[in-house]
Structure 1
Amino acid sequence: MSSTAEMEATGREENPNAQGAAAAAAAEPSTSGHRRTYTKPVWSLLEEAAQMKTEGNAFYREKNIRSAIGRYHRALLVLRGLDSDVMTSVKGFGAETPALTPEQEALLRNTQVDCYNNLAACLLQRQSVDYARVQEYSLRVLKWRPGDVKALYRAGVATLEMGDAQTAKQYLIQASREQPNDANVRKHLQRAEEKLNRELQKEKAMYRGMFSTGPKNSSGEGIDQTNRAGEGV
């Protein structure tokens, strides 16, 4: 298996004969009475989205991260109108979601997963990384494909950078079970463990300070300063 730092760059859904098109045009609905339907067949929309993903992969390999991100977003915009999970929340508005065959549903979800995985990879390549967005995209992948090692790795990295070492450790442990020899997973798992250890040491030091013996009063009793925080002026 390839390194978790790499992008999800392949998939059977790639169709070299599909024509790339703007997302708005690809998903443009037409009005018929009070119901709206798509002007293009479902397969055509799925192929256009897959082609955009393929173009995004090519831009990524060329280190053209901005263009790659644009292609993945356009692909997801096309697929959005076909996704019953998305359209259910806005039922009654916009276009009617077409019924998909099991094969079309699988192609839709695989393309979405690859695009979100690849978007997370792209964002990690930027000079200023939006870790919240990396985490969001990675968790979307895990929702549809639990155990995806690249999404687990990226979710772990993003969560660690956002300050939650405990949750990051859990993601990275899962990733390490799938790829125990991956250097990137091991490195960030070690970072998470070191951060947790530092936090534990700080917590212990804090409690030692709170419960250590304080100065004595005239009767010989210890004065617990922590219990007198609300007293005085």
Structure 2
Amino acid sequence: MDEQGAAAEPSHPGRHQTSVKPVQVLLEEASQLKTEGNTLYREKSIRSAISRYHRALLVLRSLDSDVMSSLKGFGPEIPVLTPEQEALLRNTQVDCYNNLAACLLQRQSVDYTRVRDYSLRVLQWQPRNVKALYRAGVATLEIGDTQAAKQYLIKALREQPNDANVKKHLQRAEERLKLELQKEKAMYRGMFSSGLKDSSREGINQTNEASEGV
């Protein structure tokens, strides 16, 4: 192919479409996908809602400096966003990750690790986000890290003191911590008691040996 043909190739329709779309168009596309996801979630079409949220996040990847900075030099330049566009980007990402976590919690078999991971992504950008704190707490409690779960739920309760669900799961975490402490104490008592018995047996044996010697 000659140089003229090579130069003309990128202008063919259907090629590199996403790389040449204006920033605002991509942001609006992601926002629309998120809105469709919300509608599907309300209609209980959980799988379709999850698909929309994932697609929205995929559209936003090329605009996210946190994601693209690690790929610098291997693809198109990261576009410069205005403060308003940056805010829309983050808010859409936050909503999508929060809503993905909500979708997963609606499934019959819940992947609590993914719920926690999605919630923690939100908390990187918005440390006081109540929904993310609550879902991180619930997921972490189910995974088995009760102390960490309690901390997330305490923070959620500070932000929303009257939330009944937060209070309920915080109470669950505190009750579980009490049980874990009781089991730990019982285990140590058992170890201590076993040690005393062993010491007592050794003392009896030594006494018997001394008596036989006399």
Q: Provide TM-score, normalisation by structure 2.
A: 0.84
Q: Secondary structure at the match of 2:128?
A: coil
Q: 1:147-186, aligned counterparts within 5 Å? A: 147-186=128-167
Partner residue in 1 for 2:125? 144
**1:170 is matched by which residue type in structure 2?**
Q
Q: How does 1:1-233 map to 2 (within 5 A)?
A: 29=16, 38-212=19-193, 213-215=196-198, 216-217=200-201, 219-220=203-204
Structure 2: distance between partners of 1:39 and 1:93: 16
Deviations along 1:6-51, one digit per CA (max 9) or x if unpaired, are xxxxxxxxxxxxxxxxxxxxxx746xxxxxx921110000000000
Q: Aligned-pair distance for 1:186?
A: 1.0
Distance, in Å, in 2 between the alignment partners of 1:221 and 1:111 is 75
- The structure-2 alpha-carbon separation of the partners of 1:218 and 1:62, relative to structure 1 and needing over 3 Å to count, comes to closer
C-alpha change, 1:219 and 1:65, in structure 2 (3 Å) is: closer
Q: Which has the larger radius of gyration?
A: 2
Describe the superposition over 1:83-110 as per-residue Cα deviations: whole angstroms up to 9, x where unpaired.
0100011112232211111111111011
The residue type equivalent to 2:98 in the other structure is N
- Corresponding residue SS for 1:150: helix
Gaps of 5+ in 2: 1-14, 207-214
- When you count helix as a share of all residues, which structure comes out higher? 2
| Residue-by-residue CA offset, 1:136-189 (whole Å, 9 max, x unaligned) | 000000000111000000000000000000000000001111122211111111
User: Given the superposition, is the C-alpha separation of residues 71 and 209 from structure 1 closer, same or farther in structure 2, using an over 3 Å criterion?
Assistant: same
With over 3 angstroms needed to count, the CA separation of the structure-2 counterparts of 1:69 and 1:220, relative to structure 1, is: same
Counterpart code for 1:217: R
User: For residue 214 of structure 1, what is the amino acid of its counterpart?
Assistant: K
Rounded to whole Å, the distance in 2 between the matches of 1:157 and 1:69 is 20
Greater relative contact order (Cα < 8 A, sep 6+): 1
Say whether the 8 Å CA contact 1:53–1:71 is kept in structure 2.
yes
Q: CA RMSD in A?
A: 1.7
Shift of the alpha carbon at 1:220?
4.1
Percent of counterpart pairs with the same letter?
A: 76
Q: 1:39 to 1:219 in 2, by over 3 A?
A: closer
Measure how far apart 1:111 and its partner are: 0.4
Q: Which secondary structure state, in structure 1, belongs to the residue aligned with residue 110 of structure 2?
A: coil
CA contact (8 A) 1:29 1:38 kept: yes
Classify the secondary structure of the residue corresponding to 1:217: helix
Q: Which ranges of structure 1 fall in alignment gaps of 5 or more residues? A: 1-27, 31-36, 223-233
